[in-house]
Amino acid sequence: MKYIKISLFIFLVLVSFNNSIFGSDAKIYLKYQVIKKDSIFYDKKSNSKIDGVVKWYYTSGVLEREALYKDGKKNGVEKWYYKSGGLESNGLYKDGKLNGVEKWYYESGVLKLETLYKDGKKNGVSKGYYKSGELEQEALYKDGKQNGIAKLYYKSGELEQEALGKDGKLNGVVKWYYKSGELKQEALYKDDKLNGIGKIYYKSGELKVESLFKDGKKNGVVKWYYKSGELKQEALYKDGKLNGVEKWYYESGFIESETIFKNNKAISGFLYTEEGKKRKMTNAHLHKLNKNL
């Protein structure tokens, strides 16, 4: 049984400001004339702290980045550009730290990511978008860490995943949904690890798989079900490995096979016909089981 571990949403991003913020009389520092010492930027020639606009260029001559500095620290808008000349990102700095909304754009000009910063840390809602402009994901941050509900959406707008974060880690129930809205799977996390019962559902709503986790690993009996609700398979896990008896069942309820596992390796077993006839598993059959694990 595979559980997709939902990653806490990370947004790289930078608020658009008018070019006039730089000022027409600002001093321009070209590439390679700026050096950095102890987080302070200096004019390489005069060794004085930078005051004005610093610009970087691609080898083609196209503007790559521009930023406004005061007393050697970023103070004002910083912009990054694609080689094609289009705006890639922009953000507002105060005393060398991001403060305000930071945005990144696709090369087409469509907004890609936006996040709110305070004193250089993410604080508030962060959002990511598909190339076509639809909302893809959103998460709430506090002091640089994800705190609260994070959501992921299908391109068509329906909710795909939702997770609860605390201090940057998954804590609580994580849920996945089918595009049509039905619950697909749910699992309980503690400090970024699966802990507790995890369930997967058929699109029609019936339980498909039920597992017990501890510290991110399967521990205990895992059960699979037919859509009819009849038990299909059950297996015993310890520390994420098969240990003990695994049984498969026909939908009629009769046993189909039983296998003894030790440390994730099948060591013996029996096969049954639906009429109840029993035969021992061959070494070739056991080898095939182990190969497919």
**Confidence bin at 3 (pLDDT 50/70/90):** very low
CATH topology for 7-133 is 2.20.110
Residue 120 confidence (pLDDT) above 50: yes
Of the chain, the percentage scoring pLDDT greater than 70 comes to 88
The tokens for 164 are: 């609860």
What local confidence, expressed as pLDDT, does residue 259 receive?
Answer: 98
5-9, 92-96, 178-182, 278-282: which range is least confident on average? 5-9
What would the mean pLDDT of 254-262 be, rounded to a whole number? Answer: 97
More confident position, 15 or 209: 209
What local confidence, expressed as pLDDT, does residue 45 receive?
Answer: 75
The tokens for 153 are: 């959406």
What local confidence, expressed as pLDDT, does residue 46 receive?
Answer: 78
pLDDT digits (tens, 9 = 90+) for 174-191: 999 999 999 999 999 999
Q: Could you give the CA distance from residue 47 to residue 37 in angstroms, rounded to a whole number? A: 10
What would the mean pLDDT of 108-122 be, rounded to a whole number? Answer: 97
What would the mean pLDDT of 226-246 be, rounded to a whole number? Answer: 97
* Domain locations along the chain: 7-133
Q: Could you give the CA distance from residue 83 to residue 58 in angstroms, rounded to a whole number? A: 7
pLDDT digits (tens, 9 = 90+) for 26-54: 455 454 466 677 778 777 777 888 888 88
Residue 245 confidence (pLDDT) above 80: yes
What local confidence, expressed as pLDDT, does residue 64 receive?
Answer: 95
Instruction: Count Cβ atoms within 10 A of the Cβ of residue 240 and give its class: 0-12 exposed, 13-18 middle, 19 or more buried.
Output: middle
2-11, 34-43, 270-279: which range is least confident on average? 2-11
What local confidence, expressed as pLDDT, does residue 28 receive?
Answer: 52
Distances (CA, A) of 67 to 43, 52, 229: 14, 8, 62
What local confidence, expressed as pLDDT, does residue 50 receive?
Answer: 85
Q: What angle do CA 269, 222, 188 make, to 5 degrees?
A: 160
Q: Mean of the per-residue pLDDT values for the chain?
A: 88
Q: What is the pTM of this model?
A: 0.80
With CA atoms as reference, report the closest residue to 3 among 153, 260, 243, 216. Answer: 216
Q: Could you give the CA distance from residue 198 to residue 19 in angstroms, rounded to a whole number? A: 52
Distances (CA, A) of 89 to 17, 66, 155, 168: 11, 11, 23, 25
What would the mean pLDDT of 119-147 be, rounded to a whole number? Answer: 97
Q: Could you give the CA distance from residue 137 to residue 232 in angstroms, rounded to a whole number? A: 36
**Confidence bin at 146 (pLDDT 50/70/90):** very high
Residue 232 confidence (pLDDT) above 90: yes
Biggest alpha carbon distance in the chain?
Answer: 93
Question: What's 284's DSSP letter?
Answer: H
Per the rule left: phi > 0, alpha: psi between -120 and 50, beta: everything else, 172 is left
What would the mean pLDDT of 141-147 be, rounded to a whole number? Answer: 95
